[in-house]
Amino acid sequence: MEKMTIHLRVWRQAGPNAPGRLVPYTVENVIPDMSFLEMLDVLNEELIAKGEDPVAFDSDCREGICGTCGLVINGIPHGPDRGATVCQLHMRRYKHGDTITIEPWRARAFPLIKDLVVDRSAFDRLIQASGYTSINVGGAPDANAVLIPKDKAERSMDAAACIGCGACVAACKNASAILFVSAKVAHLGMLPQGQVEHKHRVVKMIDRMDDLGFGSCSNEGECEAVCPKEIKLANIAYLNRSYLTARFFGGL
């Protein structure tokens, strides 16, 4: 298998208040079957062996489901492959001699921690604002007591596929979390179990999104383009309809 030399420009920043800059590195012997993060592992191995501080980046499952990883690669969150997280990107996408720029998510609501790692706890606080059904353990009726049309269940599942990685926020020029919020509202709103609190959920999550410093939506659609789980803009339309209904006719 042919080996490649890859040039990198990596955002290095020692801490939230330290100045940051793009630092050039070169990685030799990159194999096309390597994942992008494995290529960064190789870089870090070299840095550690030299006694230098390795590049801090987040990752965990490395199979595209946990939502931990997230890098802006040549300006695109999660890189060039559509519908994939950066851990699923492979070096066969690049050729010998390429230069790749790697930056962190940049958004006011996601403050930087170090190098390529940002704080996404704002997403937890969004879910905290009614991103659930208020069902205590113990009192649930039989699972088949309520029939749910297959297409509704499928639409709910499409939205529930969101992994909470934050790429939608990173891609949005307003750093809005609207796609994330709409995915949760649609996931629960499509199901009878989620309908009970639907109106309250919509209003509370939108209010919380504003409080947390996320921007508003101006319908550019970058979020959908970079979403590794291909969450659709249609969810935002559904959210907007639900929000208007709740505000004007729902007494909220």
Partner 1 sequence: MTLDAKIPSGPIQEKWDRHRFDSKLVNPANKRKYTVIIVGTGLAGASAAASLGELGYNVMSFCIHDSPRRAHSIAAQGGINAAKNYQNDGDSIYRLFYDTVKGGDYRAREANVYRLAQVSVNIIDQCVAQGVPFAREYGGLLDNRSFGGAQVSRTFYARGQTGQQLLIGAYQSMMRQVEAGTVTIFPNREMLDLVVVDGRACGIVCRNLITGAIERYAAHAVLLATGGYGTAYYLSTNAVNSNVTAAWRCHKRGALFANPCFTQIHPTCIPLSGDHQSKLTLMSESLRNDGRVWVPTKKGDKRPPSQIPEAERDYYLERRYPSFGNLVPRDVASRAAKAVCDDGQGVGVTGFSVYLDFADAIQRLGRDVITERYGNLFDMYKRITDEDPYQVPMRIYPAVHYAMGGLWVDYNLMSNLPGLHVLGEANFSDHGANRLGASALMQGLADGYFVIPYTLGHYLASGGLAPVSTDHDAFAQAADSVQKRIDRLLQVKGKETPRQLHRRLGAVLWDEVGMGRNEAGLTRAIARIPQLREEFWQNVSVPGTPDNLNKNLEYAGRVADYLEFAELLAIDALHRTESCGGHFREESQTPEGEAKRDDEHFSYVAAWEFSGVDQPPVLHQEPLEFEYCKPSQRSYK
Nearer to partner 1 by Cβ, of 144 and 219: the residue is 144
Binding residues for partner 1 restricted to 205-244, rule: CB under 8 A: none
Q: How far is the CB of 8 from partner 1 (least distance, A)?
A: 16
* Count of beta carbons in the 10 Å neighbourhood of residue 176: 25
Binding residues for partner 1 restricted to 53-82, rule: CB under 8 A: 53-54, 56, 58-68, 81
* Count of beta carbons in the 10 Å neighbourhood of residue 89: 23
**CA–CA dist 168, 232 (Å, integer):** 11
| Helix residue ranges per DSSP H, 129-231 | 150-160, 167-171, 178-189, 192-195, 198-211, 222-226
Region from 4-12, 128-136, 167-175, 219-227 binding partner 1, contact rule CB under 8 A: 128-136
Nearer to partner 1 by Cβ, of 151 and 248: the residue is 151
Task: Confirm if 118 and 64 have CB atoms less than 8 A apart.
Answer: no
Q: Determine which residue in the list 134, 248, 249, 251 makes contact with partner 1, applying CB under 8 A.
A: 134
Region from 72-80, 144-152, 174-182, 213-221 binding partner 1, contact rule CB under 8 A: 144-152
Binding residues for partner 1 restricted to 188-207, rule: CB under 8 A: 188, 190-191, 193-194
44 binds partner 1 (CB under 8 A): yes
Q: Determine which residue in the list 20, 25, 90, 220 makes contact with partner 1, applying CB under 8 A.
A: 90
117 binds partner 1 (CB under 8 A): yes
Binding residues for partner 1 restricted to 145-164, rule: CB under 8 A: 146-150, 153-154, 156-157, 160-161, 163-164
Task: Confirm if 221 and 190 have CB atoms less than 8 A apart.
Answer: no
Six-digit token pair at 63? 């199979």
